[in-house]
Amino acid sequence: MSVTIGFAMAVTVAVYVTGGISGGHINPAVSLAMCVTGRLKWTKLPIYILAQLLGAFVGAAAVFGIYYDAFMDFSDGKLEVTGPNATAHIFATYPAPYLSLMNGFADQVMSTAVLLLAVFAIFDTRNNSVPKGLEPIAVGLLIIALSCSLGMNSGCAMNPARDLGPRLFTAVAGWGMEVFTAGNNWWWVPIVAPLLGAVVGAMTYIIFIEMHHSDPQSGGENEVRDKYELTNME
């Protein structure tokens, strides 16, 4: 529970901190879904993804530095990816021993689709939207719910940057290239599956919810962007 709550509150704080600049984009899957649905310019996507990966990499480095003595004490100075003294899973997700790649892929598509479905609802002012300023808290509670219910199989990444950035750090910090081969070459699943799931979740919301809103009394060319505070905080 400490990991789940810490993960969720970190996202909440990050959205509050960056909301006024980027709209709180800390997840490439969310940014991609916003581009696909016309809420974000495609030219911003590579810049956002690069920043998200860099942030995750630096965050992993900070954690390793702060807890360096703990890492060394726990594993007698050995940084291992698998086995009883494994510590690589602190930084990136790895599948449970029973999990197949197909089941893990479906897991990540499902969890990220639900994430985007709910995020679109939270920021949709024509739905039962969250009071302005409390949206990041609602997102944090959403992540707690998803992590508690869908985290057992592989840690519920739902964010390619949050997984790949720290995985790259562990590869160069001493864990080695095994971080890419462990779990039957698991590393690509939390990158590709969340991107697909995000688009599925976003389109599901638009098709089954947004398209059925009653017509507003007044509108304008910026109506779509104004309706989604996630991209209108910039």
pLDDT 10s digits, 137-177: 999 999 999 999 999 999 999 999 999 999 999 999 999 99
Confidence of residue 190 (pLDDT cuts 50, 70, 90): very high
Cβ contact 57:166 at 8 Å = yes
For residue 214, the model assigns a pLDDT of 83
**Residue 146 near residue 230, CB atoms below 8 Å:** no
Asked whether residue 55 carries a pLDDT value surpassing 80, the answer given is yes
Burial 48-71 (b: 16+ CB within 10 A, else e): bbebbbebbbebbbeebeeeeeeb
Looking at residue 215, its pLDDT comes to 72
pTM: 0.91
Residue 119: both structure tokens together: 């995020």
Q: Where are the beta strands (DSSP E) in the chain?
A: none
**Does residue 202 contact residue 37 with C-beta atoms inside 8 Å?**
yes
Tell me: the pLDDT tens digits for 59-112?
Answer: 999 999 999 999 999 999 999 999 999 999 999 999 999 999 999 999 999 999
Confidence (pLDDT) at 221: 47
Helix (H, G, I), strand (E, B) or coil at 43: helix
pLDDT of 208 over the 70 cut: yes
Beta-carbon count within 10 A of 19 CB = 19
Is 141 exposed, middle or buried (CB count within 10 Å of its CB: 0-12, 13-18, 19+)? middle
What was the pLDDT predicted at 146?
Answer: 97
Query: Does the pLDDT value for residue 229 go beyond 50?
Result: no
> Is the pLDDT higher at 52 or at 225?
52
- CATH no. for 1-232: 1.20.1080.10
Contact 182, 81 (CB under 8 A): yes
Q: What is the pLDDT of residue 234?
A: 41
Q: pLDDT (tens digit, 9 = 90+) per residue, 14-31?
A: 999 999 988 899 999 999
Q: Up-side HSE of residue 126: CA atoms within 13 Å toward CB?
A: 19
